[in-house]
């Protein structure tokens, strides 16, 4: 009896330490975001006050003046429209074309398939910085600078997305595809009617990764978008850094606005994200 009681106490202590440790780690990771939100509600003079105490997380003179300044200096609805439009076009192309490519690499036996897959994996390690200059020259020669095409078309094909889809589709049972073929479904109908509906997790994973990458992208929009009316969210935030004197309170408010869509997406789609990574992220 004493042995069972001792084991029970040890298990309870282990669970307590596990959850307490996770709570501390969570607080460490979330604290910069909480500080940013609190700073966005403070006057300029109070932002960097009490940085060595818990008071830095308490806006004693909280107001929405910084957010009013952001909406006054920036056309936020237009900025959000520009950003969401170009991301939506990239996502539509990515999810459609790259999933088809991944399915072909997973289920079709054609000459050169292994070579194509090896090329896809090799190109995954190529950083954007290595191709940014020649890509910009190409956009300039096509007269696509300061157009939506320059933001969208170069980023529809993605080796990482193809690999993610391929890894997921490899585990789709061949018997299911064979049964669809016996019922008269061709390859296209099998993919769109059978395979896609059971692949929500990998689609959600690619969706989230793509959305976050392009929502946070600054360098490429900075190079190819020169008109103020076509600014994306990150270019709009940069306006506050380039204007003297720098008002950090307004910068914090702008950063909070830019972070809201990503936070909401992770809150509502984290289940699919975790499942997608677990099922297709790291497999042979």
Q: What is the 3-state secondary structure (H, E, C) of 65-112?
A: HHHHHHHHHCCHHHHHHHHHHHHHHHHHHHHHHHHHHHHHHHHCCCCC
pTM score, two decimals? 0.82
Each residue's pLDDT expressed in tens, for the chain with a length of 284 residues: 456 666 667 777 888 888 888 888 988 888 888 889 888 888 888 888 777 778 788 888 888 888 988 888 888 889 999 999 999 999 999 999 999 999 999 998 888 899 999 999 888 888 888 889 999 999 999 999 999 999 999 999 999 999 999 999 998 888 888 888 888 888 888 999 889 988 888 898 899 889 989 998 989 999 998 877 888 888 888 877 776 777 888 888 989 998 888 888 877 777 776 666 665 544 43
143 torsion bin: left (phi>0), alpha (psi -120 to 50), beta (else): left
Angle at 41 between CA 38 and CA 46, to 5 degrees: 80
């Amino acid at each position: 009896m004493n042995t069972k009681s001792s084991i029970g106490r040890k298990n309870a202590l282990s669970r307590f330490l596990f959850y307490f440790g996770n709570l501390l780690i969570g607080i460490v990771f979330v604290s910069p975001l909480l500080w940013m939100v609190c700073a966005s509600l403070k006057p300029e003079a109070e932002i960097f006050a009490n940085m060595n105490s818990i008071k830095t997380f308490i806006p004693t003179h909280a107001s929405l003046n910084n957010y009013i300044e952001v909406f006054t200096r920036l056309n936020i609805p237009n900025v959000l429209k520009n950003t969401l439009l170009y991301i939506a076009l990239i996502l539509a192309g990515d999810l459609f074309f790259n999933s088809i490519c991944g399915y072909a690499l997973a289920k079709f036996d054609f000459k050169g398939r292994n070579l194509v897959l090896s090329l896809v994996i090799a190109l995954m390690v190529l950083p954007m910085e290595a191709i940014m200059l020649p890509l910009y020259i190409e956009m300039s020669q096509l007269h696509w600078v300061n157009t939506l095409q320059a933001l969208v078309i170069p980023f529809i094909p993605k080796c990482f997305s193809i690999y993610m889809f391929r890894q997921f589709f490899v585990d789709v049972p061949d018997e299911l595809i064979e049964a669809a073929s016996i019922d008269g479904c061709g390859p296209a109908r099998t993919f769109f009617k059978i395979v896609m509906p059971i692949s929500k997790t990998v689609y959600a994973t690619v969706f989230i990764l793509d959305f976050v990458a392009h929502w946070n992208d600054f360098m490429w929009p900075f190079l190819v978008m020169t008109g103020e009316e076509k600014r994306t969210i990150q270019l709009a935030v940069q306006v506050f850094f380039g204007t003297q004197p720098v008002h950090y309170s307004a910068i914090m408010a702008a950063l909070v606005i830019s972070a809201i869509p990503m936070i909401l997406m992770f809150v509502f789609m984290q289940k699919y994200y975790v499942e997608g990574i677990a099922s297709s992220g790291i497999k042979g």
